[in-house]
Amino acid sequence: MKVINSLKSRLVTLPINSATDLVRGTLLIKGTTGATNLGTAIVGAATSASNIVGILAELHDYSVNGSALVAGAVHSAVISGAGGAAWFAPAGGNPNIFPSRKVELVEGLTLCRIDYATTGVAVTSSSSSTTVNMTSGEQDMDTSFLYASAGEAIGELRMTVSDTTNVWVTAVAFTTMTTAGYLVKIPPLLHGLFVLTVGNTTTPTKIDSTAAAGAARLVQLERHIVRNGLDEMLDPYTHGSLSGLNDLAQLQFYGVFGLCSTVFSPLA
C-alpha cells in the first residue's frame, strides 16, 4: 500500500454510461442501477442527491464511443460472446471506441495503490453455469471481477453482470465448482466499502475478500491486473473470460483508491 497522488486536482479515467453526447463540464455522479450502470459514472439529474464523483473533462461523443453498459454489446464492434462490453480496451480492435473519459475529481482525496490479497478469499458453495452461490453475499456487485484462486475453476477470471441475494451472475461461466472454491472479489469502480488485511512484519495492508461487505471507507477509482509485468486496467471485454492465470510467473491485482479519513472527517 502506498500513496501515489495527493494533489487537490486530479484526472481519472472512468467508464461513462450515457446514450447521448455529453459536453465537457458535465457533472457526473455514481451509477446505482443494477445490471445497467452500476460501476460507471452517469449524468447528475437536476433533482438527484446521488454521490457526486467529478466533472467531465472532455467530450463524450456517444455516436463514436458508445456507452459503458454493464452487459451485452455496447456497439456493433463488440464481438459476440466476448464476455462484456469494452470500457478501456478498443472494442473489436477499433482504437476510436472507448466509452471511458477523463473525469476531474471534485474531492480532495489522497490516492493510494493497494494490492488485492490472493489468500483468505471469499468461499463459494457448489456453483454451475454463470451463477456463483455465496453465503451472506454482498449486494450491488454488478461489474465486479472474480478470480478463482483455488478450486476447480482455479486461474479463471470473470465479470459479474447482476446479483440477487447471495447469488452473483457472471457474463461467462466459470468451470463448474462442485466443491467449495475460493474467489478474490474485486468490487465495482466507485464502490465505497472494503475489507482490509492487517499489516504485519512481512506483508503491508491489502484489500481482503469476504462474502459480506466491508467497513473501510475507500473509493475504488481504478482496477488493475499485472500479468508477467504487463499492467492493464481491468476491462470487461479484454479480461472478462480469461483462464490459466494461475500458471503465470507473475499475477497481481491492485486498485487505485481514494481514501476517506474518518479521523479528519468523522462519521458522526
Secondary structure string (H, E, C) spanning 123-178: EECCEECCEEEECCCCCCCCCCEEEEEECCCCCCEEEEEEEECCEEEECCCCCCEC
Beta bridge partner(s), residue 5 = 111
pTM: 0.90
SS3 93: helix
pLDDT in tens, 105-154: 987 778 899 999 987 676 666 666 788 887 777 888 889 999 999 888 89
Query: Residues 137, 165: contact at Cβ < 8 Å?
Result: yes
pLDDT(255) > 80: yes
Report how far residue 122's alpha carbon sits from residue 147's, in angstroms, rounded to the nearest whole number.
10
C-alpha cell of residue 112: 493510494
pLDDT(29) > 70: yes
pLDDT in tens, 145-190: 999 998 888 999 998 888 877 788 888 888 887 776 788 999 999 9
User: What is the CA angle 116-148-187, rounded to 5?
Assistant: 45
Range from 1-10, 148-157, 197-206, 210-219 carrying the lowest mean pLDDT: 1-10
Report how far residue 33's alpha carbon sits from residue 127's, in angstroms, rounded to the nearest whole number.
25
Beta bridge partner(s), residue 162 = 169
